[in-house]
């Protein structure tokens, strides 16, 4: 008779995989490394995740949920003020990118590592990046600006530029990106 996994086993495995994937890259980490790091047996890992692709999907979906939760928390104080909410999102990104343990955007990294269009390492990042753009576009529309698409596209480019270069250029560039986004939003306001 097969043993049942202890409560929290899936989360513990996923926590180890999350850290290893983020710090080292998905391709650089094998399942045996996750097993060793987590201290679980191979059978236990395969009971929770059918294979590496399923573990990758769970990792990226978890990162997506974390981002959505962080955005909800950052924008909540500015409910009803979409311009401030946009700046709050860029501020969140600046904080993430400026953190000493920032190793790059997990979605951009995963997308770059996976060539197959049907692989979760490409599908989930593409969906996440579209959701980021959609969130910014929705807020820009809500703000009632004359050219909300233009403003939103510029903000999305600032965000993605910060995520793409933050690990190399650091906190000062993240703060410059935030200041630039603030200028973009201020310039979009009716005179």
pLDDT digits (tens, 9 = 90+) for 69-107: 999 999 999 999 999 999 999 999 999 999 999 999 999
78 within a domain of the structure (yes/no): yes
Q: Which residue segment(s) compose the domain that 20 sits in? A: 1-49
pLDDT for the residue numbered 4: 56
Contact (CB, 8 A) for 26 and 113: yes
**Residue 139's closest CA among 151, 122, 123?**
151
- Top pLDDT among 2 and 85 is at 85
Our count of domains for the chain comes to: 2
What does each C-alpha distance from 145 to 31, 134, 159 come to in angstroms? Answer: 49, 16, 20
134 within a domain of the structure (yes/no): yes
Q: Mark whether 12 and 90 lie in a shared domain.
A: no
- pLDDT at 1 > cutoff 60: no
Cα distance between residue 96 and residue 114, in whole Å: 24
**Residue 52's closest CA among 127, 115, 60?**
60
Q: Mark whether 113 and 73 lie in a shared domain.
A: yes
16 within a domain of the structure (yes/no): yes
Cα distance between residue 82 and residue 68, in whole Å: 16
Q: Mark whether 44 and 67 lie in a shared domain.
A: no
- Strand intervals (E) in the chain: none
pLDDT for the residue numbered 8: 85
Q: Mark whether 24 and 101 lie in a shared domain.
A: no
Kindly tell me the sign of the dihedral angle through the C-alpha atoms of 76, 79, 84, 89: positive
- pLDDT at 133 > cutoff 90: yes
54 within a domain of the structure (yes/no): no
155 within a domain of the structure (yes/no): yes
Q: Mark whether 92 and 179 lie in a shared domain.
A: yes
With 0.85 as the threshold, say if the pTM is over it.
yes
pLDDT for the residue numbered 3: 52
């Amino acid at each position: 008779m097969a043993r049942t996994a202890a409560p929290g086993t899936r989360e513990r495995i996923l926590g180890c995989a999350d850290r290893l994937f983020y710090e080292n890259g998905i391709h650089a980490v094998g399942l045996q490394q996750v097993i060793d790091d987590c201290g679980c047996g191979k059978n236990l890992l395969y009971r929770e995740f059918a294979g590496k692709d399923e573990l990758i999907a769970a990792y990226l979906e978890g990162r997506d949920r974390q981002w959505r939760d962080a955005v909800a928390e950052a924008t909540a104080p500015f409910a009803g003020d979409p311009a401030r909410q946009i700046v709050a999102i860029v501020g969140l990104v600046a904080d993430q990118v400026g953190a000493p343990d920032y190793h790059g955007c997990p979605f951009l990294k995963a997308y770059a590592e996976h060539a197959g269009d049907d692989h979760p390492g490409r599908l989930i990042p593409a969906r996440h990046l579209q959701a980021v753009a959609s969130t910014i576009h929705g807020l820009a529309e809500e703000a009632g600006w004359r050219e909300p698409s233009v403003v939103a596209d510029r903000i999305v480019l600032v965000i993605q530029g910060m995520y793409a270069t933050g690990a190399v250029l650091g906190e000062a560039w993240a703060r410059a990106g935030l200041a630039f986004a603030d200028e973009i939003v201020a310039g979009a306001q009716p005179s």
